[in-house]
A and B are shown apart, each in its own frame.
Chain A
């Protein structure tokens, strides 16, 4: 199994509070991704990173920010959590931009905003 750890695995937070989710990898892969999974929508890309300090937006980036100060860590921050951000969040990593390269996924973080 690829070495990807997401923390926390479960979190309940109140509307309006900031929340940070962490993804840690031990594979030294260059590319890291944050997705959210919602019924009927599958996985939607929030943000991704193609190197330290290099990030870009995905299709549902509003209300989220990311940071990558080290190769192994990719943080997702909800600046002011809303109920619409209740979801399961998955981190993924990929070794290269080669389209034949698969992505490896973490176990997910279930976030509930009340």
Chain B
């Protein structure tokens, strides 16, 4: 079945450091890929998405590129801020399914 695998956290970085959170997926066909973010005490909200191979999603300084050859969708940011502290979820959705499949989440903490 479909699945999403994320790097385990927690990840702790200093402010202005470079961030990478790894995400790989298993799915039949050509899913759309998403990154969601969950701030403390809140529900999830969409951070960015990519709908086909080689697409790059971007938002708030975060980027992720849909790599079909490596079945990956790694999240990156060049310079993190304290306000980026949150839990990040990678997710996929296939064209023939209603379901949205999430990874286990990666908790990110940024030190001032």
B89 touches A42 (CB 8 A): yes
The residue from A4, A37, A92 contacting B100, defined by CB atoms under 8 A apart: A92
The residue from B34, B42, B102 contacting A102, defined by CB atoms under 8 A apart: B34
Instruction: Pick from A13-21, A61-69, A71-79, A104-112 the stretch touching chain B.
Output: A104-112
A48 to B93 alpha-carbon distance, docked (Å): 14
User: Is B28 an interface residue when CB atoms closer than 8 A count as contact?
Assistant: no
Specify which chain B residues have a CB less than 8 angstroms from the CB of A58 in the assembled complex. 99
B98 touches A90 (CB 8 A): no
Given contacts A31-B98, A99-B31, contact A105 B45 (CB under 8 A): yes
**Residues on A facing B (Cβ under 8 Å):** 4, 31, 33, 35, 37, 40-45, 48, 50, 56, 58, 90, 92, 94, 97-108
Q: Which of B31, B95, B99 has the most CB of A within 10 A?
A: B99
A42 touches B99 (CB 8 A): no
A94 touches B45 (CB 8 A): no
A-B contact pairs, 13 of them (CB 8 A): A42-B89, A42-B105, A43-B44, A44-B102, A50-B98, A94-B100, A97-B97, A99-B31, A99-B32, A100-B49, A103-B46, A105-B43, A105-B45
